[in-house]
Structure 1
């Protein structure tokens, strides 16, 4: 049995895709939605987190720190140090930043509009179906 825990957060940011052949090459902004997914087979057996995979508040704190330092109301080209901060790039970047602090992290989902979504899930051949719930 596997437990899947998800925590979402949002941020406002601008970016531009330097080499894009359309309007995305111009500076513009999005209201990004991010969901981090953690997975594991074992729940805590003792202490204040008994019967939890992990505590939602701990996940929220780690995400909040990243959001405040690099994402919210920033130019992502600058803070992520790339000339093309696509949703795919952002999802992978967030995963790499969070993984050391959230060892159970299994995927990051980034939406830049209500009709678009990218999932970054390393070391698997296809995303978990749970990631695509409506």
Structure 2
């Protein structure tokens, strides 16, 4: 049976600071992120199934990614829990702001690895997470591909 890749894109706004970085990104700053989620599978061949002919309903991808990534990261500040920004983050939380403390350096690359772990367990067993691409800017992105990580 032929394998098909299906991709859905998502947009969200997130701020972060890179702990110990030797450039401007050590300061809290934000990005308009664009995430591309690609799954792989075979189209459903059962014509009595309402999803007949689909690998996955785009709406099903949207439900997972919205709940696991977009709703979590959108308009949040990501800070490394071991950075000096922790005190500021605690103060911002006390004032009602959305702060996520990470155990990792919140670089585009590490955010992407976190998103793989957040998305993959919630996908239907009939599809495989093929790749994620996270654009931090229009011209800069990180990409995770499953076959590179086997």
Alignment of 1:44-59 (within 5 A): 44-46=44-46, 47-59=49-61
* Alpha-carbon distance in 2 for matches of 1:59, 1:49: 13
Structure whose CA Rg is larger = 2
1:108 to 128, 132, 146: 132
Counterpart residue number, 1:12: 13
RMSD: 1.5
More strand by share: 2
When normalised by structure 2's length, the TM-score is 0.76
- Runs of 4+ deviating beyond 6 Å: none
How many correspondences in the alignment? 123
Does the CA contact (< 8 Å) of 1:18 and 1:83 recur in 2? Answer: no
CA offsets, 1:29-85, max 9 Å, x none?
A: 000000001012x211221111100000010111111211x2000012252613521
* Alpha-carbon distance in 2 for matches of 1:109, 1:80: 22
Q: Which runs of 5+ in 1 are unaligned?
A: 126-134
